[in-house]
Amino acid sequence: MKSIIYKIVIGVLGLTAVCTGCDDDAFLREDPDTFYTIENIFKSPDQIRQVVTSCYEHVRNLYCTSAPMIFSSTHFYMGNNGTDMFDVPNGRDGHSLNDYSILNPQKDVYNNVYSSFYQLINIANTALNAAEMEHIVWDSEETKQQVIAEARFFRAFAYRNLAELYGGVPLVTEISTEPRYDYERATRLATYQFAIDEMEQCLILPETAPEAGKLVKAAVQHNLCQLYINKGVVLQEEGGNATEAYNKALEYANTVIDGGTYQLMTNRFGTRQNESPVYYYATTMDDQTPEHTYESAGVHMEGNVIWDLFQEGNQDYQAGNREAIWVAQIDLAVYKQGFGNNCMVHSSNYGPVARDVQGELMGNMEDVGGNGVTAVMPTYYTRDIIYDGKWAADMRNSESVFRRTFVGNQKDKEYYGKIVPWDVLHHVTNGQAENQAATYLFPVSCKIATDKYTGLDAGDDRARLFRDDYLIRLPETILLRAEVKWRLGNNDGAASDINLLRSRAQCSYMVTAGDVNLNLILDERARELVYEERRWNTLLRMGGTVAVDRIKEYAYWDKARTSLAGKSFNLWPIPQSVIDTNKDVKLEQNPGW
């Protein structure tokens, strides 16, 4: 979306905040000539488009962990902290999301995530309200409906996420001009149905768009597939018939996967298609010379199509990436103009911190994954378990994609210029790894770091990436279809879908119908979508005890298992502040909290 306005329309957003929070009668009587109101601020369709642009901005800032979000509570949700896949490292206990002795409805993350999605709803409602104002002159009804469809998508998208995380929530479809304390929760099923109804109104969006980052029909169909799966799960839990819902999910997935517009990238492509990654065992730029390459130390890395998917300039459909359905736009030039949110802070948030673990590996250069702070670290499930045994031969587990080999970069140490064993990196004594080292040093994915950082001329410090970020990629749609086929009892079909991804990744082991179960699907999601999916949504939308069972089995820290003893939940809690504020109608808390 490089040509779309990046700047949030501060006046419009400020106005919506005023309209939802003011209870002063004098305000309502202000002269419109001297004070902006929701009725007179909008003069043209371009202003409404700007509000919709701010929806794109809001999602990008929420999902792509931009600069101000390091160590924010919202980031820890987006970083999948506390799930089977990720946790906090040693010393960051205050940010833990799996110590259930301290987690409760007052925890700020639950309120901030809840509020973030309602902020998106508020922005979308503002655009929808303004689009219907009689004095707005559109160049055509088609143009108007396209803008309305984008706004409705964002509203439906927010409610899908809220229902997956919190269950039924209040359905707010109008702008409030005075405080309300009487919101009522819809059921989870009704919230999903509302999102479905909204999404199905968005199917008028185009098949493709000339501008990168713009919403297209496949993004709607992908979300409808997930929503109908979610609806089916709830219906099953309530003793109803889920077959119709699952068949609708399958229908939408088939349209995306088999429609001819999208396909898996199976051959090398893009800006570095003739290259392989090059790393140096070096703590300064001066030492990044041919004699200090990993190749010279005996570590061979070969570029491949998975690596290409995450190289700068390769994310957009418009650039030839045929599996890109919806991509958040990030631009170094915009960042340099002072828009500090316009970046990905993955290297910082998710990267190792070699410099804090005294030993053979130090610094903050490319060889150690950049300037990391390890806000969130992968569990052993993510690092190793999903690649154990027959699962090891997998392009997604190759050195160029998931780098497990490090060369010592300290000139006065034993392993300088040599491969450092993990026992040495993790300071293992008597078979026990040191917590600090084990939680700050781990394999580095090409999704969170690179061998070629741009932005250094802008004063950046290898903490940020300036590539676009996937919001929906075709493999996730394929995995949704595998899931719905499994739910319909078609294990052969589910295995075939999973093998589409495994074949592309040149895995030596192809799954069979007998392999297929929910755990396999979750494992394959972890292999394919690590650092991409929102794992809390995935686990909680499954219903039952899936989230608790997976956390107990794969959590890094034992406190997750011990503090979960006797507890059961399949939803996050409704924030206590929301319950307390809604004084005129009691909002029931979710079970288990």
Give one DSSP letter per residue of 268-282, joined into a string. Answer: --STTTT-----B--
| pLDDT value at 80 more than 70 | yes
Q: How far apart are CA 566 and CA 584, in angstroms?
A: 33
Name residue, tokens 């001329």.
457
DSSP 8-state code for residue 187 = P
User: Is the model's pLDDT at 8 over the cut of 80?
Assistant: no
Confidence label for 559 from pLDDT (cuts 50, 70 and 90): very high
Q: How confident is the model at residue 173 (pLDDT cuts 50, 70, 90)?
A: very high
pLDDT at residue number 336 = 87
What is the domain partition of the chain in residue ranges? 10-204+574-581, 285-302+330-467
**Model confidence over 516-548: pLDDT tens digits?**
999 999 999 999 999 999 999 999 999 999 999
Residue 367 per-residue DSSP state: G
Does position 258 have pLDDT exceeding 90, yes or no?
Answer: yes
pLDDT of residue 268: 98
In angstroms, the CA 496 to CA 515 distance is 11
User: Looking at the predicted structure, is the pLDDT value of residue 466 above 90?
Assistant: yes
CA 120 to chain centre: 16
At residue 363, the pLDDT reads 94
pLDDT tens, residue by residue, 24-39: 343 333 344 455 666 7
pLDDT tens digits for range 278-287: 999 999 999 9
**pLDDT tens digit string along 93-147?**
878 898 998 899 999 999 999 999 999 999 999 999 999 999 999 999 999 999 9
Q: What pLDDT does 593 receive?
A: 93
pLDDT mean over 552-569: 92
When pLDDT is cut at 50, 70 and 90, the band that residue 460 belongs to is: confident
Contact 348, 373 (CB under 8 A): yes
Distance CA 407, CA 296 (A): 10
Pairing state of beta strands 86-87 and 377-378? antiparallel
Phi, psi of 578 (to 5 degrees): -70, -45
C-alpha closest to that of 89 among 373, 480, 390: 373
Nearest in space to 143 (alpha carbons), one of 52, 253, 33: 52
Buried b / exposed e across 146-182, counting CB within 10 Å, b at 16+?
bbbbbbbbbbbbbbbbbbbbbbbbbbbeebebeeeee
How far CA 432 is from CA of 345, 426, 437, 438, in Å, comes to 32, 9, 11, 10
**What band does 236 get if pLDDT is binned at 50, 70 and 90?**
very high
Q: Which pLDDT band holds residue 1 (cuts at 50, 70, 90)?
A: very low
For residue 155, is pLDDT > 60?
Answer: yes
Split at pLDDT 50, 70, 90, the class of 76 is: confident
Compute the distance between CA of residue 592 and CA of residue 484 in angstroms, rounded to an integer.
Answer: 28
Instruction: Write out pLDDT tens, residues 294-347.
Output: 999 999 999 999 999 999 999 999 999 999 999 999 999 988 888 888 899 999
Residue 68 pLDDT greater than 60, yes or no: no
Give the DSSP H or E segment for 358: none
Q: Average pLDDT for residues 166-180, to the nearest whole number?
A: 92
Stated length of the chain: 593
Residue 467 CB contacts under 8 Å (≥ 6 apart), including other chains: 310, 311, 312, 313, 314, 315, 330, 344
Topology of the domain covering 10-204+574-581: 1.25.40
Distances (CA, A) of 17 to 54, 315, 487: 14, 34, 43
CA dist 138 and 60 (Å) reads 28
- Supply the mean pLDDT for the chain: 91
**Element of type H or E holding 4:** none
Q: Which own/partner pairs from 555-561 qualify as long-range (CB within 8 Å, at least 24 positions apart)?
A: 555/82, 555/84, 555/87, 555/98, 555/379, 556/87, 556/377, 556/379, 556/380, 556/439, 557/87, 557/96, 557/98, 557/99, 559/96, 559/98, 559/99, 559/101, 560/82, 560/87, 560/98, 560/99, 560/100
DSSP for 219-272, please give it.
HHHHHHHHHHHHHHHHHHHTT---HHHHHHHHHHHHHHHHSSS-----S--STT
- Residue 10 has a pLDDT of 34
